[in-house]
Structures are given as structure tokens and as C-alpha cells.
Amino acid sequence: MFDIRTNEQGDVILSGRLDAAQTDKASEVLNRITGSVNVDFKDLQYISSAGLGVLLAAQKRLSQTGNRLKLINMSSHIRDVFHYARFDMIFEIQ
């Protein structure tokens, strides 16, 4: 199960498993973002390469206007995925 939503502060909240079957749902929300935003990974249990691709596409689009995704509250497992993919060089991870 995967869920993506925005909270009152405009942060994007991810929960569950972001895999290839969920990329359309994630893209739909991320494509509506026009400014810098925090993406909260606290409740995300798994991310596939397809999920990484959705985040990368959003980051590339936002960076063209000087904005960015800031990834927060990552578990050590998810942080390792970003490190091995070298996405920690692309995203600000807090």
C-alpha cells in the first residue's frame, strides 16, 4: 500500500511502498508542486528504482526554476538506497 498527500504546511508525506505500480499516483501529486517543498519519508518503508525516477523527475523540473525537494525523516534503509544510487549528491537529505 502506498499513500502520498500534502499536509497543512505544504509538505509532501509519503507512506508505504513506492514502487513501479505507484509511480502514476506519486507523479500526479509531485507534478502539482511549483516551489521548494519538504518530502517526509518517515512512514515510507520501501522505494524502488521507479520511485527514485519519479522523485528525480520532480527535482529536475523544480531545479529549472531555482526550487528543490528537501527529503526529510528518512530511515537508514531508505537513506542507503539513495546513497548507493548516488542520489544523495542530487537531493538535500536531512
pLDDT of residue 56: 97
pLDDT of residue 15: 97
Helix (H, G, I), strand (E, B) or coil at 44: strand
- Per-residue model confidence as pLDDT tens for the chain (94 residues): 999 999 999 999 999 999 999 999 999 999 999 999 999 999 999 999 999 999 999 999 999 999 999 999 999 999 999 999 999 999 999 9
pLDDT of residue 74: 97
pLDDT of residue 77: 95
Angle between helix 23-30 and helix 49-63 axes, rounded to 10 deg: 20
Q: Which domains does the chain have, with CATH numbers?
A: 2-93 (3.30.750.24)
Residue 71 neighbours by CB under 8 Å, 6+ apart:
38, 39, 41, 55, 82, 91, 92, 93, 94
